[in-house]
Structure 1
Amino acid sequence: MNKRTRLVTAAVVVATVAASVLVAGPGYDAAQVRMHAGTVWLASNRTGQVVLADGASAELVASVKVDEPGAALNIAQRGSDALVVNQETGVLSRIDGATHDVTPSTAVLPTSPGLLVKAAQGVVYGVDVHNGEISSIDPDTVAPRGRQQLAEKFRPDSVVVDGHDRLWAIDDESGDLVWLTGGERRTRTAETRSGHLTITAGLPALVDPERGTAELLSPDTGAVTRSLSTGLKAGETIALSGSAGRSRLLIANSARGELTVCTFDAGSCSEPMHVSAPGSELGTPIEINDHAVVPNLSTGQATVVDLTTSRVVAQRELFDRPTRFELLTRDGIVFFNDPYGNTAGVLDLDGKVRTITKYTEGTAGDTPSPSDPRARADQAVQVENRKQQPGLGISGQPVVTSRQNQVVTPPKPAASISVSPGNRGATGTDFELTMVLPQAGDATIRWSFGDGTAATGTTVSHSWQRSGVFTVRAEATLATGAKAHAETTITIDPADAPPAITQLNVHRPKPVIGESVHFSADVAGKPDRWRWTVTKTGGLTTEATAQTAEFEHRFVTPGVYAVSLTITRGTRTAQSSRQFTVARGAVKGWGRDFAGALKIPQAAESGVIAVDGGGSHSLALKSDGSVLAWGDPAAIEATVPPEALTGVVAIAAGGYHNLALKADGSVIAWGRDEFGQATVPSEAKHDVVAIAAGPYQNLVLKSDGSVVGWGHTPYGPLPVPEAAKSGVTAIASGPYHNMALKADGSIVSWGRFEGAEIEAPPEASSGVVAIAAGTMYSLALKADGSVVFWGLNRRNSYTVPAAAKSGVVSIDTGAWHILAQKADGSLIGWGGNNLDGELTIPAEYDHGVLDYATGEGFNLVVLEDLP
Structure 2
Amino acid sequence: MIRRRTRAFVAVAAAASVTAAVLVAGPGYDAARVRMSSGAVWLASSGTGEVSLVDGTTGEVRGHTRVAAPGTALSVARLGSAAFVANRKTGQLSRVDSATEQVSPSGADLPASDGLVVKTTPDVVHGIDVRSGTVVSVDPHTLRSSGDRTRLAERLQPDSVVVDGGGRLWAIDADTGDLVWLADGKRRSRPAEAGNSRLTVTTGRPVLVDPERDVAELLHPGTGVVAGTVRPGLDAGDVVAVSGSADRSRVLIANSTRGELVVCAFDPRSCTAPVKVAAEGADLGTPVEVDDHAVVPDYSTGEATVVDLADGSVVSQRLLFAGPVRFELVVHDNLVFFNDPNSNAAGVLKLTGDVMTITKHAEAPTGDDGVGQQTDPRAQQAQQETKIGQPERTPAPGLTGQPALPDSSTPEPKASIVVTPGNRGAVGDEFELTMTFLPAVIADADWQFGDGTTGRGATVRHRWQQAGEHTVEAVATLGSGQRVTARTTIVVDPAGTPPQITGLSVQRPKPVVGELVRISAGTSGRPDMWAWTVTRAGRNRPEATAGTAEFSHRFTTAGQYTVSLTITRGTTTATSSQEVTVARGAVEGWGRNRSGVLDIPPAATSGVIAVAAGDAHALALKADGSVIAWGDNSWGQVEVPPEASSGVVAIDAGQAHSLALKADGTVIGWGGKGVKDLEVVPPAARSDVIAISAGFDFGLVLKKDGSVVSWGASPGNVEVPPAARSDVIAISAGFLHCLALKADGSVIGWEGDEGGHESATTTPPEARAGVVAVAANGWSSLALKSDGSVIGWGDNDWNQISIPQEAKSGVIAIDTSLTHSVALKSNGTVLAWGANDFAQTAVPPQYNSGVLSVSAGKQYNLVLV
TM-score normalised to structure 2 length? 0.50
TM-score normalised to structure 1 length? 0.50
